[in-house]
Amino acid sequence: MSTEASATVAGRSSRFFPWTTDLRTAQIARFTVGTTAAAVLAFAYAWPLSFVCPLLTIVFLSKKIPGFTHREWYPIAYVLGAMALGLTFTLFLHPYPVVFVLMLGLVFFNIYYFINRHGSFVFALICLLSVLILPMMTTAHEELAIVFALYFGFSAALAIVIFIIANVLFPDPPGSPGPTDAGFQRGYSEVAAKASLKSTLVILPLVVLFNAFELTGGLLVVIYAAILSLAAESSAGWNAGVTMFRATLMGAAATVVVYALLVAVPEMHFLTILWLVTMLIFARIIFSDHPLSKYAGSGATAMTVLVATSLGAGADYFDKIVIRAMLIALAALYVGFALAIVDRYLFRESEPG
């Protein structure tokens, strides 16, 4: 009798709470609710660099990060290290362009190398964004470097908290396969070094260009390109660039529709419902076998950042949304093609004799 009762309870739980028994449903629910919560908080309070919170939340929830669960809150300590790194570049290296560029290239290489050897993705991503955002944000307001660093740290820490809460509310069903954790690879790895050098050679020129001409309005392009470089595969050739471009166009198209609806109905409850539905659509693609699934998270990131940085900034619709959407789409194309070119002409394997 007890067995029958347990089976009945399990059946009812599966019917009303399907994420308790199905892994994909749990992943979709976790992503949808977590990213919506982060976006609503960012839109409602709009603190400086608030877009970092939903940006990181999307990246975290679109991946299954090894060794990062609700029982392990230590990743919040990573934020302090990332803030210190960003401030070092902003206060001490940014005034000296040659030194800044050389050290930036070295840091980029080490961040990618750390990731390619299966280091903490959370720490590496926050460090990458810190050295990208803080120097560019403080170009026009150098005296606010520490203030921007604090807001960046707050946004990153909040994203980690939301990630943890989302995993508590929608855990993987019992018996689901856990994330593959190969463990940190110590010592020198030629494969990891080559992959890291490729990513550095692609991203560094773009970052230097935007810093040299103080194109702070293009910060979103640099951030998006850097995030794409973490997921891109140079070995995929030109098809990788086309796939990233298509995923970004998907995000850009969603941006135009969502922004137009928000302008027509500027109410917080409508924003919440609209965002929930939009993130649900993205989640169903991300956690599927669709060819765009690998880059759909980047499309959701593009849409979120574009809308977050345009709301309340005036009614210049074309300038704020359409042009920026085109720029990040071109950034996606640039990353894919540049990785393919670097792989083909600088790292071509010798032909067997």
3-state secondary structure the chain: CHHHHHHHHHHHHHHHCHHHCCHHHHHHHHHHHHHHHHHHHHHHHCCCCCCHHHHHHHHHHCCCCCCCCCCCCCHHHHHHHHHHHHHHHHHHHCCCHHHHHHHHHHHHHHHHHHHHCCCCHHHHHHHHHHHHHHHHHCCCCHHHHHHHHHHHHHHHHHHHHHHHHHHHHCCCCCCCCCCCCCCCCCCCCHHHHHHHHHHHHHHHHHHHHHHHCCCHHHHHHHHHHHHHHHHCCHHHCHHHHHHHHHHHHHHHHHHHHHHHHHHHCCCHHHHHHHHHHHHHHHHHHHCCCCCCHHHHHHHHHHHHHHHHCCCCCCCCHHHHHHHHHHHHHHHHHHHHHHHHHHHHHCCCCCCCC
For 145-196, the pLDDT digits (tens) are: 888 899 999 999 999 999 989 988 998 888 766 666 566 778 888 888 888 8
Cβ–Cβ contacts within 10 Å for residue 341, how many?
16
Gap between the Cα atoms of 51 and 31, Å rounded: 17
CA atoms of 64 and 286, how far apart (whole Å): 12
pLDDT score of 238: 57
The Cα 278–Cα 261 span in angstroms is: 12
Give yes or no for residue 200 having a pLDDT over 60: yes
By CB atoms closer than 10 A (0-12, 13-18, 19+), residue 72 is exposed
CB 56 within 8 A of CB 308: no
Is residue 6 pLDDT above 70, yes or no?
A: no
Band (pLDDT 50/70/90 cuts) for residue 102 is: very high
- The tokens of 164 are what? 């943890």
Q: What is the pLDDT of residue 5?
A: 46
* Res 235 pLDDT > 60: no
How far apart CA 103 and CA 59 sit, in angstroms, is 26
Confidence check: pLDDT of 8 > 70 = no
Instruction: State yes or no: pLDDT of 103 exceeds 90.
Output: yes
pLDDT of 249 over the 90 cut: no
Contact 81, 127 (CB under 8 A): yes
pLDDT at res. 283: 94
Assess contact for 63 and 121: CB atoms under 8 A.
Answer: yes
Task: Measure CA of the first residue to CA of the last residue in the chain; give whole Å.
Answer: 73
Contact 319, 220 (CB under 8 A): no
Which tokens is 11 given?
Answer: 């059946």
Q: Which of 43-47, 118-122, 127-131, 266-270 has the lowest mean pLDDT?
A: 118-122
Residue 223, pLDDT score: 85
- For the stretch 28-78, pLDDT in tens is 999 999 999 999 999 899 898 899 999 999 999 988 776 566 555 666 778
At residue 352, the pLDDT reads 43
pLDDT at 255 over 80: yes
Q: What is the pLDDT of residue 74?
A: 66
Residue with tokens 């990332």: 82
